[in-house]
């Protein structure tokens, strides 16, 4: 079997040697054929596919790698699909990119292919936040758009997210239909390039101002900012695309004391100061937190390379900086927006918020308190955008997000937006201090007293390559056939299977349908209120386990004690499921 795979790979690699590929690519393919069969197999054993976030992969030669040819095939396939969908129309597209190595080159290739297909193309003049690309699609009335980014992945990765007319990432059936068109591109001569450069229009700082004005329109507490405009804020763009617009947005909101981490304000696709440019990790945030400690800052903010994810660290009573998880950031921003909307008399029963099924149930509790509908959707911001699309003209979206450090306030963008989230976090901090004399961290503790102390955990089991992908699929099959009967001694009473779209009541055996898109996700609910969710990542070689536990918090004084108990419970669940 292994030999058959190698033979197939060698045939595909030989086709690259014989085909109209550039000489440098051929040289690299030849080197792998002669010296590294394992890497050759990984590079050619399959074609890079659209997952939940479009294309994403390691950069290099081969059909399973990010390079100008795989990017070209994806773009030509997308172009062909757009021509079928919008026959007779002058198709308009927007193209953006982040700070990763080769991102500009890939973005220019994408723009060239779109232009060569006769489309009107809007290409940003340099790196920009992903949410601004989503905004551009809506603002410029485009049919589609592409951003070249691999979000917070390590430096060897790059990626390609495709967007639809509403500025959201493509959802079914468009995603599978695009894949079908991409698969028809069997020869690079089918990719149209080098024609109609006049179709490409460059977007610059004038367009940034339009976007920043829309972000600023979200502001709910300008007077509070006036009183606390000099609040010390440390911000790091982690070598990425937030470097200019996040500070510009904070200034527009009225904050005058924003300091960037100088070493990380350098745009660099090698991300030299971090192992991984992911604000979810404390190691990644350490340089910003150290600077904050030296400066006595009130708030630490970070964005990932394409500036759609936000990292937040807050100072506690002991002067230590606590790195919030994505659930805590979401709960704070949602609570702030809903509180202010209520105080300003803007809630009339027609508003709603959205979160994903693996995101903290505390968001549901907050929404219920304000009598605002909370939708639960599949993981991936495109599903949040889908709910916004379905409610257009019927109800008003306030905000929402997911546990993976993504939040969106307002609906003028249809992807997570760390530019606006950073500004809203800073405004919430100014408001909490102005109206209650509380830091944002102290207010979070008060929210736990009010709604219950919700605590979440996450374990990602990484299994790389072809074997890893097969092992992850087998784990999901085994969990379906043999789900746990108890978790940490508490009986499993309900199972949600988002693949079969059924909820099983374990005691009665009764199954009821789930009204949702299908996805390979399992959830187990126990008698004591614990929730465990399992899902393979759509963009990375890993399977994720999400844990949600809850306990009452009678007073802020008991915070540390209850936190320790909940964390111990999560560790116990990991051991019980043999994940530790």
* Catalytic sites, residue numbers: 151
Nearest 5 degrees, angle CA 431-CA 434-CA 440? 55
Residue 303 gets the label, from left (phi > 0), alpha (psi -120 to 50) or beta, of beta
Only one residue has tokens 């220019």, namely 108
How many Å apart are CA 120 and CA 82, to the nearest integer?
Answer: 12
Any alpha helices (H) in 243-374, and if so which ranges?
245-253, 282-295, 326-343, 362-369
Nearest alpha-carbon partner for 299 in 284, 281, 285: 285
Q: What does the block give as tokens for 491?
A: 């009986």
Q: Are strands 490-497 and 486-487 parallel, antiparallel or unpaired?
A: antiparallel
CA–CA separation, 534 and 547 (whole Å): 9
Distance between CA atoms of residues 381 and 403, nearest Å: 11
Q: Reduced to 3 states, what is the DSSP secondary structure of residue 70?
A: helix
Q: Are 406 and 349 in contact (CB under 8 A)?
A: no
Nearest to 166, CA basis, from 203, 197, 137, 130? 137
Rounded CA gap, 573 and 45, in Å? 37
Instruction: Work out the number of other CB atoms within 10 angstroms of the CB of residue 292.
Output: 26
**CA end-to-end span of the chain, whole Å?**
33
Alpha-carbon separation of residue 532 from 209, 328, 459, 524, 542 (angstroms): 43, 18, 11, 5, 16
Radius of gyration of the chain from its Cα atoms, rounded to whole angstroms? 24
Q: What is the 3-state secondary structure (H, E, C) of 178-199?
A: HHHHHHCCCCHHHCCCCCCHHH
């Amino acid at each position: 079997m292994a030999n058959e795979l190698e033979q197939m790979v060698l045939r595909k690699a030989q086709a690259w040697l014989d085909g109209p590929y550039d000489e440098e690519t051929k040289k690299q393919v030849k080197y792998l054929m002669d010296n590294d069969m394992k890497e050759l197999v990984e590079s050619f054993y399959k074609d890079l596919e659209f997952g939940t976030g479009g294309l994403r992969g390691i950069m290099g030669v081969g059909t399973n790698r990010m390079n100008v040819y795989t990017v070209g095939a994806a773009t030509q396939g997308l172009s062909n699909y757009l021509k079928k969908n919008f026959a007779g129309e002058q198709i308009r597209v927007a193209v953006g990119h982040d700070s990763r190595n080769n991102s500009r080159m890939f973005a220019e290739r994408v723009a060239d292919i779109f232009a060569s297909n006769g489309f009107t193309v809007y290409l940003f003049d340099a790196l920009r936040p992903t949410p601004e690309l989503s905004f551009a699609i809506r603002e410029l009335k485009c049919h589609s758009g592409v951003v070249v980014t691999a979000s917070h992945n390590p430096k060897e990765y790059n990626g390609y997210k495709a967007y639809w007319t509403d500025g959201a990432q493509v959802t079914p059936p468009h995603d599978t239909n695009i894949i079908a068109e991409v698969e028809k591109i069997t020869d690079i001569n089918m990719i149209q390039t080098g024609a109609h450069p006049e179709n490409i229009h460059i977007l610059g700082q004038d367009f940034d101002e339009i976007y920043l004005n829309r972000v600023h329109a979200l502001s709910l507490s300008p007077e509070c900012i006036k009183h606390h405009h000099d609040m010390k804020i440390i911000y790091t763009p982690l070598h990425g695309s937030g470097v200019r617009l996040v500070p510009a947005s904070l200034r527009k909101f009225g904050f005058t004391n924003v300091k960037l981490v100088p070493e990380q304000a350098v745009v660099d696709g090698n991300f030299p100061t971090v192992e991984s440019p992911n604000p979810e990790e404390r190691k990644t945030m350490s340089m910003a937190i150290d600077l904050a400690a030296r400066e006595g800052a009130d708030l630490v903010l970070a964005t990932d390379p394409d500036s759609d994810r936000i990292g937040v660290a807050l100072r506690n009573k002991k002067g230590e900086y606590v790195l919030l998880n994505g659930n805590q950031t979401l709960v704070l921003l949602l609570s702030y927006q809903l509180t202010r909307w209520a105080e300003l008399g803007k809630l009339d029963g027609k508003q709603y918020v959205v979160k994903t099924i693996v995101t903290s149930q505390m968001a549901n509790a907050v929404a219920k308190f304000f009598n605002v509908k909370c939708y639960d959707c599949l993981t991936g911001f495109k599903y949040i955008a889908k709910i916004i699309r379905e409610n257009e003209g019927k109800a008003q979206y306030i905000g929402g997000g997911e546990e993976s450090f993504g939040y969106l306030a307002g609906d003028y963008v249809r992807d997570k937006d760390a530019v606006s989230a950073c500004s809203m976090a800073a405004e919430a901090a100014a408001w909490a201090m102005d109206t209650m004399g509380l830091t944002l961290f102290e207010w979070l503790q008060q929210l736990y007293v009010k709604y219950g102390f919700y605590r979440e955990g996450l374990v990602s089991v990484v299994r790389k390559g072809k074997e890893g992908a097969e092992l992850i699929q087998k784990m999901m099959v085994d969990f379906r056939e043999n789900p746990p009967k108890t978790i940490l001694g508490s009986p499993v009473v309900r199972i949600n299977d988002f693949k079969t779209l059924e909820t099983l009541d374990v005691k009665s055996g009764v199954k009821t349908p789930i009204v949702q898109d299908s996805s390979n996700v399992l959830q187990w609910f126990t008698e004591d209120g614990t929730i465990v969710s399992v899902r393979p990542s759509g963009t990375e070689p890993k399977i994720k386990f999400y844990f949600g536990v809850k306990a009452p918090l009678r007073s802020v004084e008991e915070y540390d004690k209850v936190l320790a108990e909940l964390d111990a419970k999560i560790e116990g669940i990991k051991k019980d499921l043999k994940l530790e």
